[in-house]
Chains A and B, each alone.
Chain A
Amino acid sequence: MGAEEDKKLIIDTLKGKKTKTKFYLKDFNNMFPERRPREVSKLVNEMVAEGLLEYWSTGSTTMIGLKGAGIQHETEDSDQ
């Protein structure tokens, strides 16, 4: 199993990145080099469903980050 440990590893790794809050799926694969990419994407999607992570889309590509982290267009707009 170890799913909780995996999730902790993801969260700790993302928190450790100082300048960046959005990541490609590939960056998550690199955290688990011995796993099949499809297993990792399932885990990431599960963490989104649990509200730990969230998607951010360029329209053509989807990125993933810690929920609420980074610059969001909403926050930019809501201060008017």
Chain B
Amino acid sequence: MVKRKTPMLDELEKGKWPSFVSDIKQEAESRNETDVDLQTPKEVCDDLLDLLELSFKDREGHWKHGGIAGVFGYGGGVIGRYCDRPEEFPAVKDFHTLRVNQPSSYFYRTEFLRKICELWERRGSGLTNMHGSTGDIILLGTTTPQIEEIFWELTHNLKQDLGGSGSNLRTPNCCIGKSRCEFACYDTQEACRNLTMEFQDELHRPSFGYKFKMKFDGCPNGCVASIARSDMSVIGTWKDDIRIDQEAVQAYVAGEFKPDGGGFAGRDWGPFDIVKEVIDLCPTHCMAWNGKKLGINNRECNRCMHCINTMPRALRIGKETGASILFGAKAPILEGAQLSTLTIPFMRMEEPFNEIKELVGKIWDWWSEEGRSRERLGELMQRKGFAKFLDVCGVKADPRMIKEPRSNPYIFWKEADIPGGWERDIKDFRKRHQK
């Protein structure tokens, strides 16, 4: 085996941050030495490094898209890739990716991970992404004949399915939730899993004109970024009062507890000042501190989380918890980026999650009916108007859904809403007015 020369990539082995180049090299070596019965080319990591070195030299990528959609019967889960210099880099001639639906919040037992590793060393490149942007475990690079084999082993031996791609429901994702976070207002992991299982058909087989993403954030901190990148953002919230432990508040004021759980420890910001750092920064100014006691006018609170984040030992989310549901976020392509729009201010989120499932059903029906090919839900909402969207959802308009009322008066009235309708008698008009 000729050792390949990758002078530019070698530069990326230096420095402290974990080097992906060193990691690919160690996999390349492992493949050369292994006695595993490799079903994909032994040199796949070597060729990948060489190809990447060529891209660094050319400042251009060397991949072509392939149309492979999934395993037989699936319209998503596999992304096809072909190298555009196959003679020189035969081991990465075809280099397809599989998306494997991650378990909620990325918790694993090593036993399971080792089985994935064993399978992917044998039938793939041995390279992964932990994890892809949507959330899946990405198995990066295999040959066409391996895809069905991998799927067979995944489903039979690992009891594990593929994720979504293309015009499917994309793999739902969630934050860490109640597993290890005191801010979680509902069980994001169970909601994510339950809806993933409910909508398996839509996840694997194209049912829409474009992608549909749903993500589950446990609180308004939004650790899984649902508000920016999912067609349906389910964000935990509460309706009642923030729970206050006045003694703990005193401990923060006295400097015994550090703000943000100690998250500012790397710099001397001076002693904690509850007025400056909490009361005055509250966006609704609904808090007061009299030197002894913290007061919150909960009715005016918009649950931004700042006070709770700052003093987690003193303040807790309320007890009447659920989620706000927002729709229509997307990255800028094409009309511009959109954040999700608040549609359902509060919904209880409890098993079996029937209310949200019914809502999703109504929205999918409308989107499939009215949406153009490759039109995201957020774009359709803009095109048809938010009032129409509320009608589809069966929800009444509420000032909570807007930042401000419209500034133009061009309201498209419905004929049925106007007394007497739009049909009028011109002859009757002429009785009152001459030509």
Taking A56-B69, A57-B70, A62-B69 as contacts, is the C-beta distance between A38 and B80 under 8 angstroms?
A: no
A76's nearest neighbour on chain B, judged by CB, is B82
Tell me the dominant secondary structure on chain B's binding face. loop
A52 to B166, CA, bound (A): 20
Checking A24, A48, A60 against B73 with a beta-carbon cut-off of 8 angstroms, the contacting residue is: A48
A41's nearest neighbour on chain B, judged by CB, is B207
Q: Is B210 interfacial (CB 8 A cutoff)?
A: yes
With a 10 A CB-CB cut-off, give which of A37, A59, A62 has the most chain B CB atoms.
A62
B77's nearest neighbour on chain A, judged by CB, is A57
Which residues from B are CB-within-8-Å of A38? Answer: 207, 364-365, 368
Which residues from A are CB-within-8-Å of B87? Answer: 80
Taking A36-B365, A62-B166 as contacts, is the C-beta distance between A57 and B209 under 8 angstroms?
A: no
Q: Is A72 interfacial (CB 8 A cutoff)?
A: yes
Taking A36-B369, A55-B166, A73-B66 as contacts, is the C-beta distance between A62 and B76 under 8 angstroms?
A: yes
A61 to B208, CA, bound (A): 9
A56's nearest neighbour on chain B, judged by CB, is B67
Whether the Cβ atoms of A55 and B65 lie closer than 8 Å is no
A29 to B119, CA, bound (A): 40
A36 to B373, CA, bound (A): 16
Q: 1/0 contact trace for A9-48 toward B, CB 8 Å?
A: 0000000000000001110010000001110010001001
Which residues, 319 to 373 on B, are CB-close (under 8 Å) to A? 364-365, 368-369, 372-373
Which residues from A are CB-within-8-Å of B166? Answer: 55, 57-62
Taking A57-B165, A60-B166 as contacts, is the C-beta distance between A37 and B368 under 8 angstroms?
A: yes
A38 to B86, CA, bound (A): 41
Q: How many residues of B contact A (CB 8 A)?
A: 39
A77 to B93, CA, bound (A): 9
A9 vs chain B, min Cβ distance (A): 20
Q: Is A66 interfacial (CB 8 A cutoff)?
A: no
Which residues from B are CB-within-8-Å of A64? Answer: 206
Which residues from B are CB-within-8-Å of A56? Answer: 67, 69
A45 to B207, CA, bound (A): 9
B94's nearest neighbour on chain A, judged by CB, is A77
Whether the Cβ atoms of B144 and A41 lie closer than 8 Å is no
Which residues from B are CB-within-8-Å of A49? Answer: 73
A74 to B144, CA, bound (A): 9
Which residues, 193 to 241 on B, are CB-close (under 8 Å) to A? 201, 205-211
Whether the Cβ atoms of A26 and B209 lie closer than 8 Å is yes
